[in-house]
Amino acid sequence: MINFEAILSKRIARRFKSLRGIIPPEIIANGQKSQILSIEKEKIPKSGNFVSDTLLDAYSDYFGKSKSELIFGDSDEKETQIFELFHRIFLSVYPDELREKSKVIKDLELKADPKVMESFTDFFHIFGDFGRWYNLKQHELTDTEEDIFIDFDSMYYIFWSLSKNKIMRSFQEKVISTSFTESDNKFYFNRINDKVNRWLINDFSSVIIPDMLEKLKTDSIFKIGFLVKNLIDEFLVKNLSESFLENIPLQEYFPPVKSYHFNLKEGTSQEEIMEASEELLRFFSQEKKRRDNETPEEFYQRIEKEKFFENSRIVEDMSRPFINGTRKISAEGFLNSVLDTPEVFDTIHNLNLKERKIPGILTVNSQASKLFQQKVNEVVLSIIDDLVRYQNIFINCIKWEELQDFI
């Protein structure tokens, strides 16, 4: 539970003491000297009602200040208090080393509801750098400052600049205003925590953050953060067990290809050229269509058996034989060959090519799939690193004063 009353009590104590100055307490509120002095010393009564409704009335009448200002401060003080509140919540996801060095008050009871924390971390995934650290790197670090190269403070200031107007309007309506409009028209300091925590859950987490995220998802810079999160959630397989697979069965099916290289060397006789020409005509006249009732395999075997240029000195046979069988190959080598496929093959969209199959890749040879996932992980991690770098460059191009009017 967020103890916002603890934040307020410190400021109220200073504010009341400053207002009173050397004025005797009895003049401000007759018969309430002990309560006034207790407030100035920040002594919280067992009831938790730090400032009573009666005393608040007396201070408001004597100094001509609104009750709202006496409890929550002026507009700048209100903003500072909420800024510190959310910064403290954000500190809970900081690396330990950075959290210890933070200048924000550390001795306050500020344990946010899990729903608030979830919405908070959801928001900070607009930063790819945060998403990469939060989901992948935080457990790999030794939590020393030298290991952490993430600008958490700037991320928080960007969050505050984007959300400040919405948050302050909502806080004014749901917390401050309702604190002075109770059913019995009295003020209860010890009900503020309940109001703040309900506001955090019902308004900040359920309305403000979702609305902001919807807007940010349409922005070309901040949507990169969502893309990084999606790649991590949907495409990376974490804690993938090590694969000891070395070889996999590869079923290959390649029709025969007839290919010949003519090498007309100096001294080649006219007779050799004529013989090669006649053989070339015979090659072109070869029957290249399947006969009735002839299977593809029988057709390919027949084509392969026909020989050409067997006795020619000037023609080199470069033909590829008919391949129809299964052999063992290096799993690592196969995956590397897939990843190194030339970009020209990007134009091929056929999903049922017969040339190469791995029998049982989804069941019996699931180890092959696991090894492939390791390669996919490597590719995705490289993409994530690139996206984080690009987004950081673009974020540095933003003028921060423009953020508060963005959403």
How confident is the prediction along the chain (407 residues), in pLDDT tens digits per residue? 889 999 999 999 999 999 999 999 999 998 999 999 999 999 999 999 999 999 999 999 999 999 999 999 999 999 999 998 998 888 887 766 665 655 544 544 567 889 999 999 999 999 999 999 998 877 665 444 445 578 988 999 999 999 999 999 999 999 999 999 888 889 999 999 999 999 999 999 999 999 999 999 999 999 999 999 999 999 888 776 666 667 878 888 888 988 989 988 878 888 888 888 988 888 888 877 888 888 989 898 988 888 888 888 888 989 999 999 898 888 778 777 777 777 766 666 677 777 888 777 776 556 667 777 887 888 899 999 999 999 999 999 999 899 988 88
Residue-level pLDDT at 334: 79
The verdict on pTM exceeding 0.85 is no
Helix (H) or strand (E) holding 254: strand 247-254
> Residue 329's pLDDT is what?
84
For residue 359, the model assigns a pLDDT of: 79
- Per the document, the length of the chain is 407
Residue 1 has a pLDDT of 81
Q: How far from 306 is each of 32, 90, 192, 258, 270, CA to CA, in Å? A: 115, 76, 94, 10, 25
Structural contact between residues 317 and 260, judged by C-beta atoms closer than 8 angstroms: yes
Confidence at residue 266, expressed as pLDDT on a 0 to 100 scale: 79
Q: Strands, DSSP E only, in 83-205?
A: none
Cα distances (Å, whole numbers) of residue 1 to 14, 89, 256, 285, 383: 25, 11, 74, 88, 39
pLDDT recorded at residue 245: 67
Residue 15: Cβ within 10 Å count: 21
186 vs 45: CA distance, rounded Å: 18
pLDDT at 42: 94
